[in-house]
């Protein structure tokens, strides 16, 4: 049973990268994202959500209600139109078949009570919609959903260094390139890495928004599982070695919560355990209320 959430949750997540690019910026030649003023590394919230989606689609194999709406190379308007087809709502019918009784403003677009039906269908079918929300007001129009789980950008705990490496491919793409090189057939390229970076992000889970999307306890358990394992199924040469290190979950006693999130996050601290440039997770210690955390996942009751 996907029982409804009855508590608010806030969480902190630590992960690291070694000799890799955790989140390249396509507007900057795919360089690792960095805060220009502080030198701290950045990983976007959408990058982390993409990895959660990818894990869920591997784990559940697109079986409803764990299908994924925002798939790689997907066409969102097609999925929205499929919802109304499955609901047997004819978006070309005039007048519109809704409680408001208004005539349809434009063919192929839902309005009135139809939008609510479409939105509920999408939440029921797609894990990522009822988890993170979605803008579905394009195409056939299934409205907008504000998801119960929200993440912020991850930021490295210390400034990171970006290294640029020259790489050689022992082949060319076309015969014309081969002729220019007299058969040498070498292609030069660039690769960017961070030697090591420990990143920290924060997340928030609203029981009230979960009730609106149908996000329940079973979904939450799958989300925690994805946070712990998502890097294990997202390997690539460009990303180097990325690992989930610590997940600290603050579980409130009520839907509204018992303490502000920032006060809970301030209880989490880190310190260096070595001198010189950090090159491994063992160079750091993460503590809760001054006590080191050795478990990958820690649940803290907030009452």
For 48-81, what is each residue's pLDDT tens digit?
A: 999 999 999 999 998 999 999 999 999 999 999 9
Burial per residue of 165-195, b for 16 or more beta-carbon CB atoms within 10 angstroms, e otherwise: eeeeeeebeeeeeeeeeeeeeeeeeeebbbb
How far is the CA of 174 from the CAs of 164, 171, 180, 182, 183, in angstroms?
27, 9, 10, 13, 11
**pLDDT tens digits, residue range 192-242?**
999 999 999 999 999 999 999 999 999 999 999 999 999 999 999 999 999
Q: Are the CB atoms for 215 and 131 separated by under 8 Å?
A: yes
pLDDT at position 96: 58
Output the CA angle 101-86-223, nearest 5 degrees.
110
- Angle between helix 113-125 and helix 76-86 axes, rounded to 10 deg: 110
CA distance 100 to 121: 20
pLDDT at position 31: 96
CA distance 128 to 203: 15
Phi and psi torsions of 84, nearest 5°: -70, -30
What is the token pair recorded at 105? 């403003």
pLDDT at position 201: 98
User: DSSP state, 102?
Assistant: P
pLDDT at position 26: 94
Helix (H) / strand (E) element for 82: namely helix 76-86
CA distance 205 to 81: 29
pLDDT at position 182: 84
pLDDT at position 155: 98
pLDDT at position 287: 98
pLDDT at position 92: 87
What's the average pLDDT block by block, 10 residues per block, for the chain (303 residues)? 92 98 95 97 98 97 95 95 95 68 77 92 98 97 97 98 92 89 85 97 98 97 98 94 98 97 98 96 98 97 95
pTM higher than the cut 0.85: yes
Q: For residue 124, give the nearest of 145, 141, 151, 149 by alpha carbon.
A: 145
């Amino acid at each position: 049973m996907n029982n409804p959430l009855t508590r608010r949750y806030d969480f902190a997540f630590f992960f690291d990268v070694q000799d890799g690019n955790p989140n390249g910026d396509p507007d900057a030649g795919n360089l690792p994202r960095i805060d220009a003023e502080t030198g701290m590394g950045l990983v976007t919230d959408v990058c982390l959500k993409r990895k959660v989606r990818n894990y869920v689609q591997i784990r559940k194999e697109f079986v409803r209600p764990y299908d994924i709406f925002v798939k790689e190379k997907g066409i969102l308007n097609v999925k929205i139109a499929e919802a109304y087809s499955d609901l047997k709502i004819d978006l070309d019918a005039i007048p519109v078949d809704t409680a408001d009784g208004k005539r349809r403003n434009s063919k192929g677009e839902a309005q009135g009570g139809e939008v609510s039906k479409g939105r509920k269908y999408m939440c029921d079918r797609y894990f990522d919609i009822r988890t993170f929300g979605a803008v579905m007001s394009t195409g056939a129009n299934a409205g907008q959903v504000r998801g119960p789980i929200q993440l912020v950008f991850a930021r490295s705990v210390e400034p990171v260094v970006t290294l640029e490496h020259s790489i050689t491919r022992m082949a060319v793409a076309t015969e014309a390139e081969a002729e220019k090189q007299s058969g040498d057939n070498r292609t030069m390229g660039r690769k960017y890495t961070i030697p090591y970076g420990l990143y920290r992000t924060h997340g928030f889970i609203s029981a009230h928004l979960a009730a609106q999307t149908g996000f329940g306890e079973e979904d939450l358990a799958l989300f925690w599982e994805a946070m712990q394992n998502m890097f294990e199924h997202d390997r690539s040469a460009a990303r180097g070695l990325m690992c989930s290190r610590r997940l600290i979950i603050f579980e409130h006693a009520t839907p509204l919560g018992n303490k502000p999130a920032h006060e809970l996050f301030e209880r989490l601290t880190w310190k260096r355990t070595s001198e010189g440039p950090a090159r491994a997770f063992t160079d750091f210690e993460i503590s809760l209320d001054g006590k080191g955390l050795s478990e990958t996942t820690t649940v803290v009751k907030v009452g």
